[in-house]
């Protein structure tokens, strides 16, 4: 069995996320998603999520491409996750190009091209703009 792992926040899940998860799953038999916890996002990534960890986890677990969701608590856990879950392939979006090449000592590392025209930051901006221009 080929095991694949990817990491992310997956806030306001959109088709760019789905494209990445679909491509990741196509690489193997079992896809693990390490989902950034609320604390990790706030304290280490300086991100505030619209959806909390449990909401994001529930959404990811409902997707046919995802076999297991685990918490991402810190930057350093990647090597131990790869070893613990016997991961063969680590993959991320191309916005992380070369950042995780040190993992090549443990598994294959692949960077996928980002989906053009979509990002979580863009989506959040669109939602904020909609509220500013609406009469709500």
Mean pLDDT split into 10-residue runs, the chain, 136 residues: 97 93 98 98 91 97 98 97 98 96 98 86 77 71
What are the distances in angstroms from CA 75 to CA 15, 43, 86, 100?
Answer: 25, 12, 19, 11
What are the distances in angstroms from CA 123 to CA 16, 40, 65, 79, 130?
Answer: 11, 21, 23, 32, 11
Q: Where are the beta strands (DSSP E) in 18-127?
A: 30-36, 68-72, 89-93, 108-112
Q: Could you give the CA distance from residue 121 to residue 124 in angstroms, rounded to a whole number?
A: 5
Closest CA to 71 of 96, 103, 39, 47: 39
Burial status of residue 103 (CB atoms within 10 A of its CB: 0-12, 13-18, 19 or more): middle
118 touches 14 (CB < 8 A):
yes
- Known catalytic residues? 45, 47
Q: Could you give the CA distance from residue 25 to residue 40 in angstroms, rounded to a whole number?
A: 25
46 touches 53 (CB < 8 A):
no
């Amino acid at each position: 069995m080929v095991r694949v792992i990817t990491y992310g926040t997956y806030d306001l899940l959109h088709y760019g996320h789905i494209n990445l998860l679909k491509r990741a799953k196509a690489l193997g038999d079992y896809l693990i998603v390490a989902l950034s916890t609320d604390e990790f996002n706030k304290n280490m990534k300086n991100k505030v999520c619209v959806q909390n960890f449990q909401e994001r986890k529930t959404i990811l677990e409902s997707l046919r491409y995802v076999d297991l969701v685990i918490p991402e608590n810190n930057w350093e856990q990647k090597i131990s996750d790869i070893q613990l879950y016997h991961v063969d392939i680590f993959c991320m979006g191309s916005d992380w190009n070369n950042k995780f090449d040190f993992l090549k000592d443990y598994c294959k590392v692949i960077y996928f091209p980002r989906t053009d025209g979509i990002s979580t930051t863009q989506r959040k901006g669109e939602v904020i703009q909609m509220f500013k221009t609406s009469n709500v």
